[in-house]
Amino acid sequence: MEATADGTKARAGVLTTPHGVIETPVFMPVGTQGTVKGLSSRELTQAGAGIILANTYHLYLRPGHEVIREAGGLHAFMNWSGGILTDSGGFQVASLAGLREITEDGVKFTSHIDGSTHFLRPEAAVAIQEALGADIIMAFDECVRYPASYDYVKAANMRTVKWAGRCKEAKSREDQALFGIVQGGVFPDLREESAKALVRIGFPGYAIGGLSVGEPKDEMLVALESAIAHLPEDKPRYLMGVGTPWDFVEGVARGVDMFDCVLPTRIARHGTAFTAAGKVIVRDKPYERDFSPLDPLCDCMVCRNYTRAYLRHLIRAKEMLGARLLSYHNVYFFIKFMRDIRNAIVNGTFPQFREDFLRLCGTIGE
């Protein structure tokens, strides 16, 4: 840990991986199927990405982890020399797969691609992730949908903790860090229980999963705080699948070190850009003859070379280049935003940064 911020739990640190040293807090762009949608691996580097996330569920189904193992692992397969974190598949099994059947041993589900039946156990989730070869891998968890009853979440929690222990047992590669995933829905005592149980097993890092799945923001923050309060100071904390710049500021203020989210690339494909002055829905009519850059304060390749009018045209004409350029800008913006947060922590100005940012959010209504 390099620095912490007065009055908040924000911290600046580094993660050392076999594919580079990653400064935290960090935003990890999502490369679901072995590609961050629309971007080449070289562009990821240019946009400042040091580590990306890939989805075990997707890569297991297609092209298959054995193909990726034969390719020399996911880094070689996708020609990416930075860090990779793979999730455990738990979230996708809960959100994408059909016809789930959860037992104490694992989850039976049908593929969203071809309807074929699969059974994923903690040991298999680890074996698949070892074949993929990411730098950071996740313990297999049951990601509970929102809303869910206290009793169900409690039972799922116990399974997730047991599965985490089995994942640690099953792990055989020395060059991968296995993180446990804190679950517990929006129930503070279950978050506490989950965090404590995982810490007893002991992991080099802890993820907080099952948030930003539909619950109100204040419930998310309470659940997050309840988990973090019981996680060790000296281990990285990763808030899974979250989120927006607001989430970053508030997550960091509560002690989160790592984030991932599909938002910047997904919203780009629909023609929306994040800028220092809020969202710009560039596909809208007002930008038809706007020959200024997406974000006048941004120095990314897109903002230096292309106008809002051109990007609007590309998006409306459904040209690939539109989604691609907006994705690049948004990923660049998210990474730069996180770097600004880190600099503020290091410089001791994070409380002011946070205050200014929240005031801006109030002004622009986001």
Give the binding site for a second copy (CB under 8 A): 33-35, 37-42, 58, 62-63, 67, 70-72, 77-79, 288-289, 291, 305-307, 309-310, 312-314, 316-317, 319-321, 323-325
DSSP string, 83-130: EEEE--SHHHHHHT-EEEEE-SS-EEEE-TTT--EEEE-HHHHHHHHH
- The CB-of-363 to a second copy minimum distance in angstroms stands at 31
Select which of 6, 87, 151, 356 is catalytic: 87
Q: Among this protein's residues, is 87 annotated catalytic?
A: yes
Cα gap 127→97, rounded to integer Å: 20
Yes or no: say if 129 and 88 are a contact pair by the CB < 8 Å rule.
yes
Question: If residue 330 lies in a helix (H) or strand (E), which one and from where to where?
Answer: helix 320-347
Q: Which of 135, 141, 257, 260 is catalytic?
A: 260
Catalytic residue flag (residue 257) = no
Shortest spacing between CB 330 and a second copy, in angstroms:
14
Residue closer to a second copy, measured from CB, 227 or 263: 263
Q: How many CB atoms lie within 10 A of CB 329?
A: 28
Nearer to a second copy, 39 or 190 (CB): 39
Q: Are 310 and 345 in contact (CB under 8 A)?
A: no
The alpha carbon of 142 is separated from its chain's Cα centroid by a whole number of angstroms, namely 17
Minimum Å distance from CB 70 to a second copy?
A: 6
Residues 215 and 274: beta-carbon distance below 8 Å: no
- Residues near 63 by beta carbon (within 8 Å), at least 6 away in sequence: 34
DSSP secondary structure code for residue 213 in this structure: S
> Tokens 């070379």 identify what position?
305
CB of 79 to a second copy, least distance (A): 5
Catalytic residues: 87, 260
